[in-house]
Structure 1
Amino acid sequence: MQTFWTACGHQHLTRNERGWLVPSPDYWRLWLQRPEMALVPESCKEEMRLHQALLDAPLMQVSPAQLHAFKDDDARENYELFLRFRDDVESAGSLESAYMAWQRNGNIQMPPLFIDVVVQAIVCNVLADEPDAWIWRAAELLFRRQRITIEGGRVLAGDSDTLDALKATGGLGEMGRLLLEGGAPLKAVDVKVLHKDNEDRYLAQREGLGRYAFLLDMTHEVRNELPHGLILKMVNARSGLKALSVVLARWVQHFLGVSVSIEPVQKVDDPAWRWHVGLDVTATALLNDLYQGQALDEKRQQQLISLFTLRFDNPQDMRADVQGKPVYLGLAMNDQRLLKLKPQNILLNLPLASAV
């Protein structure tokens, strides 16, 4: 696997016979070192005692009395969530099994942070040995919220948390925040669109602010106006949508064991439209309305980033009543131009011939 994204702990996971990820004791130790679990000067003796005991034996059973002895309610809740998460994964046997169990339950008790870190580790597994920077950058959409900007006809996706932090600190951390509050001018942070000239720099980034400071060009089709009113349309060879299609196809293969092909498209012109899946909350609502024949106003149309066609390589893997038909996928931003992809949607809502 790649050596970046180590904060998600993929380096402390091993593959079982199915190729799914099994945690080691060091994986749980890494969680205990996260900011949510790490000791602070205010930590009480009971918390410090339990924290050390878990570092020594990450799978030890913890009694309610041990948690009740904590003086800080927030610390107690963090430990309760961590222990529930640990026990769910250990009981399921792998991160993938636990992830699917949480999603199928329909009433997810885990905080979004826990889910996103799990997805990130699974993505590392899905993309093991992948050399393409665009595919890795597109994979970030599965676990990190994106802010969408439309500039000169190009659709650019930037990591929302990173852009907010850069805006607040000038890229200089807490020192930058203090300087800004004091009125000191700061040099604008140079956020680059991922390009062939900087792909090596992207892959060389490890953790920290710079890890997610690359924009992804989500423009699928480039329009060039030629003399005499002619317009030349060309497919963007380095479209982030094509890279995302690769990621999603591998995601499906990894979890469901079925091979699919996914392609971005600009519109759906299919009177026999039978099945669709929204890849996020906004896209789900948009596709439902389109499927029911409802017209979208201009504002809602502009929220739609792209459509995709998904086809099963083996039609026998599909339900008999839709066999051979394409599945349409949608990707959209909300009113604040934010995109939070829900990778579980494509796993739970495909028309499979049999339950996986």
Structure 2
Amino acid sequence: MSTSRDFWASCGHHLLDRDAAGKLLVTDEFLKVYLARPELMPPPDACAAEQGLHGALLSDPRRSVAASQVAAIADADARENWEIMIAWRDHLVKHRTLEAAYLEIIRRDIRFPHVLVGHLVQPILRNILEGCEDAFMLRAAEIFFRPQKLVMQEGSITALDEEADPSAGHHHPPSPLFALLGLPATTHVDAVTDESAASYWERSDRFDMAIDLTASGRGWAALGEVITRWLAHLLAIDVAIEPMAKLQAAPWSWYVGLSADATRIGDALWGGDALDDATQARLIGLYRLTFRDPAEMIEKVRGEPVYLLVAMTPDEKLRLKPQNLVTGLPVRLAEAVH
């Protein structure tokens, strides 16, 4: 019997339990990882209130924390970090699954730092892609939770992790699990190809592989497949997604922008505005999405295709917004994930 290879160990998926439906259940061990983040580790000169709160939550990460306990922390930055952490912890533990916690954030537009929301997206995707043996799909899935720097050259589009871009100068602290698991830092960037794909698993937590996102290429198709699986898992809808080379002249019934720039471009096209060359060049790709069961769509556009747009920023960055798939599709009754 073959054993599937592990990937993205630093997201803590191995610390989560799963219910009978395959959804993720929050454990104390998963919550404790947040307490190891640099923002929450009390420095040697931290006040007694901060050290006491940290120690108490290490012993019982679900224990109730009164506002007065956080207010007693002397350092203003530490107080703010703990206010965010306790609100985040409370949000996670009040939901039965990680998926339900994520969906409520998106549907109710609850304001949490982007980095924390990304920390939900990654283990959810890791769960969805369990057993996946396609390195192109796994690398494409990284775009859901990590900003990308795009390199345009002779008609091709290559995406590399923004933090792995040697010209970017990013030095964000990695997950605490990097140190605990002995994971190495990024040292070199390679593109995912048939020849290099086998190396993805051993280096997946370094996010140091680039991917070709040219509309006709394998990477773009792989991203479409990730979107299909994301929707099946979170919304229980079955869709077919087809990459498109260019905008069609036929009128649109519905569209979803999967980045802020894509939404602006879609709004302009919907309003009948012409795109200048610079704006059109930022539209890096399109998909046509069809519901396999049209009854799952709202009546107004039932049976019509939905167009998904992806666009980069003027400085050639891509920040995908998977939450727009939750809020933007014409789903008749979005399934609640408990």
**Do both share a fold (TM > 0.5)?**
yes
Inter-CA distance 270–169: structure 2 relative to 1 (3 Å threshold) = closer
Go from structure 1 to structure 2 and tell me whether the alpha carbon gap of 1:11 and 1:103 turns closer, same or farther (over 3 Å shift): same
Q: How far apart are the structure 1 equivalents of 2:77 and 2:164?
A: 26
What's the CA shift for 1:206?
A: 5.0
What is the aligned partner in structure 1 of residue 128 from structure 2?
126
> Relative CO higher for 1 or 2, CA cutoff 8 Å, sep ≥ 6?
2
1:89-168 alignment, distance < 5 Å: 89-106=92-109, 108-164=110-166, 168=169
- Give the match's secondary structure for 1:161: coil
- Could you tell me which residue of structure 1 aligns to residue 301 of structure 2? 322
Asked if 1:276 is matched to 2:255, the reply is yes
The 1-side partners of 2:120 and 2:223 are apart by 19
- Residue equivalent to 1:219: 214
Give the distance between the partners of 2:237 and 2:169, measured in 1 at CA: 44
Establish whether residue 293 from structure 1 lines up as the match of residue 296 from structure 2: no
List gaps (5 residues or longer) in structure 1.
Answer: 171-188, 222-235
Matched, 1:197 2:176: no
Q: Which residue of 1 aligns with 2:176?
A: none
Shift of 1:276: 0.4
Q: Give the total of aligned pairs.
A: 317
Deviation at 1:190, TM superposition (A): 4.4
Give the structure with higher Rg (CA).
Answer: 1
Asked if structure 1 preserves the Cα contact closer than 8 Å seen for 2:191 and 2:212, the reply is yes
Are the equivalent residues in 1 in contact too, given 2:290–2:304 (CA < 8 A)?
Answer: yes
Alpha-carbon offset, residue 266 of structure 1: 1.4
SS at match of 1:162: coil
Greater CA drift, 11-20 or 290-299 = 11-20
Following the alignment from structure 2 to structure 1, what is the Cα–Cα distance between the partners of residues 170 and 240?
A: 42
- Pick one of 89, 112, 126 that aligns with 1:86: 89
Amino acid at match of 2:194: K
Give the conservation status (yes or no) of the 8 Å contact 1:218–1:241.
yes
Offset, 1:355: 3.6
Identify the residue that residue 53 of structure 1 maps to in structure 2.
56
- Is the 8 Å Cα contact of residues 145 and 159 (structure 1) preserved in structure 2? yes
Tell whether 2:281 aligns with 1:302.
yes
Kept in 2, the 8 Å contact 1:157–1:215? The answer is yes
Change beyond 3 A, Cα 1:341–1:168: closer
The aligned residue for residue 73 of structure 2 is: 70
Deviations 1:70-111 (A, max 9, x none): 1211111111111111111111221111111111113x3211
Query: Any idea what the Cα deviations from partners look like across 1:1-42, whole Å, max 9, x if unmatched?
Result: 753322222111112233221111000111111222223233
In structure 1, C-alpha distance between the alignment counterparts of 2:70 and 2:45, rounded to whole Å: 16
Distance in 2, matches of 1:103 and 1:54, equals 27
Shift of residue 328 of structure 1? 0.3
Alpha-carbon separation, structure 1, partners of 2:17 and 2:323: 22
Percent sequence identity over aligned pairs: 36
In structure 1, what residue type is equivalent to 2:213? M
Letter in 2 for 1:140: E
Counterpart Cα distance in 1 of 2:56 and 2:239: 46
Deviates more, 1:196-205 or 1:19-28: 196-205
Give SS of 2:25's match.
Answer: strand
| Mapped partners of 1:88, 1:5: distance in 2 | 24
Check whether the contact 1:304–1:331 (CA below 8 A) recurs between aligned residues: yes
Counterpart amino acid of residue 59 in structure 1: R
| Uncovered stretches (5+) of structure 2, i.e. residues with no partner | 172-186
Structure 1 match to 2:11: 8
| Counterpart secondary structure, 1:215 | strand
Name the CA shift for 1:298/1:270 in 2 (closer, same or farther; >3 Å).
closer
Q: Give, as a single letter, the amino acid of the residue that structure 2 aligns with 1:192.
A: D
Shift of 1:308: 0.5
What does residue range 12-31 of structure 1 map to in structure 2 within 5 Å? 12-31=15-34
Distance in 1, matches of 2:67 and 2:330, equals 43
The answer to whether the 8 A contact 2:163-2:169 is kept is: no
SS at match of 1:92: coil
Alpha-carbon shift at residue 56 of structure 1 (Å): 0.8
Separation in 1 of the partners of 2:22 and 2:37? 26
Matched, 1:38 2:17: no
Secondary structure, counterpart of 2:137 in structure 1: helix
Quote the Cα distance in structure 2 between the aligned partners of 1:321 and 1:167: 45
Does the CA-based 8 Å contact 1:2-1:124 persist in structure 2? no
